[in-house]
């Protein structure tokens, strides 16, 4: 079991996608992709224009520096194009847990193989390299697409955080639904995994 090293440049990839650490140079790669209001429906943060996306990037990168989050940019190898972002957060080496979220993709990449490939690489890295016992997820109670995606990779529903965030219309509050997947569930699900290969250019596996 190894600890998540926020200073290392982890690269996760298979035949379909590549995940690389997010940095400011990637703004131009995602500016056109992020200019879609449907992406940001369920996010408190926004990124539809350069100013908003810069703030989004700076926040993610700063949170990596203080070891709060580890953000990735997602590259679709089949389309040869940058698709979106995702990240780890709330990591605890002592408890052997982490959360996965802040995931979004451009409209051309939603409903494709991208998300499932990314999730498998991230789950494999967390469970098999970091040796974690649990990965947590969350979604706005009305985000049916994200909820279905989490269930499709074997996540189990755990409960609801009531009135956790402001409602979409700015009036009142909204609930967040919680999911998780455990190490033994990942191992049992392994026979259904996509054919994949984990490459990490900064560490020995």
Residue 198 has pLDDT above 70, yes or no: no
With beta carbons less than 8 A apart as the criterion, state whether 139 and 175 touch: no
Question: Look-up: residue for tokens 């209001």?
Answer: 37
Residue 200 has pLDDT above 60, yes or no: no
With beta carbons less than 8 A apart as the criterion, state whether 177 and 157 touch: yes
Predicted local confidence at residue 1, as pLDDT: 78
How many Cβ atoms from other residues are within 10 Å of residue 90's Cβ? 13
Residue 197 has pLDDT above 60, yes or no: no
Of the pLDDT bands very low, low, confident and very high (cuts 50, 70, 90), residue 194 is very low
* Tokens standing for residue 6: 């926020």
Q: Beta-strand (E) ranges in 77-146?
A: 81-92, 97-105, 134-140
Residue 107 has pLDDT above 60, yes or no: yes
Model pTM score = 0.91
Phi and psi dihedrals of 178, rounded to 5?
A: -105, 140
CATH top-level class of 12-134: alpha beta
- Distance, in Å, from the CA atom of 193 to the CA atom of 101, rounded to the nearest integer, reads 20
Predicted local confidence at residue 137, as pLDDT: 98
Residue 15 has pLDDT above 80, yes or no: yes
Of the pLDDT bands very low, low, confident and very high (cuts 50, 70, 90), residue 130 is very high
Predicted local confidence at residue 188, as pLDDT: 80
Predicted local confidence at residue 190, as pLDDT: 56
Residue 192 has pLDDT above 90, yes or no: no
């Amino acid at each position: 079991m190894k600890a998540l090293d926020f200073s290392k440049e982890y690269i996760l990839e298979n035949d379909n996608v590549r995940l690389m650490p997010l940095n400011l140079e990637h703004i131009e790669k995602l500016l056109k992709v992020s200019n879609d209001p449907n992406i940001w429906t369920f996010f408190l943060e926004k990124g539809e224009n350069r100013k908003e996306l810069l703030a989004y990037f700076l926040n993610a990168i700063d949170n990596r520096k203080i070891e709060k989050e580890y953000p990735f940019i997602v590259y679709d190898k089949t389309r040869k194009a940058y698709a979106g972002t995702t990240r780890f957060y709330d990591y605890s080496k002592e408890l052997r847990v982490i959360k996965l979220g802040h995931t979004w993709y451009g409209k051309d990449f939603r409903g494709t193989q991208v998300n499932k490939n990314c999730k498998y690489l991230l789950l494999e890295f967390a469970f098999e390299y970091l040796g974690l016992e649990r990965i947590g997820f969350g979604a706005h109670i009305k985000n049916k697409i994200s909820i279905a995606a989490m269930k499709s990779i074997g996540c189990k529903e755990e409960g609801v955080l009531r009135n956790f965030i402001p409602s979409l219309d700015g009036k009142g509050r909204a609930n967040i639904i919680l999911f998780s997947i455990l190490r033994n569930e990942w191992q049992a699900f392994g026979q259904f995994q996509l054919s994949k290969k984990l490459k990490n250019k900064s560490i020995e596996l």
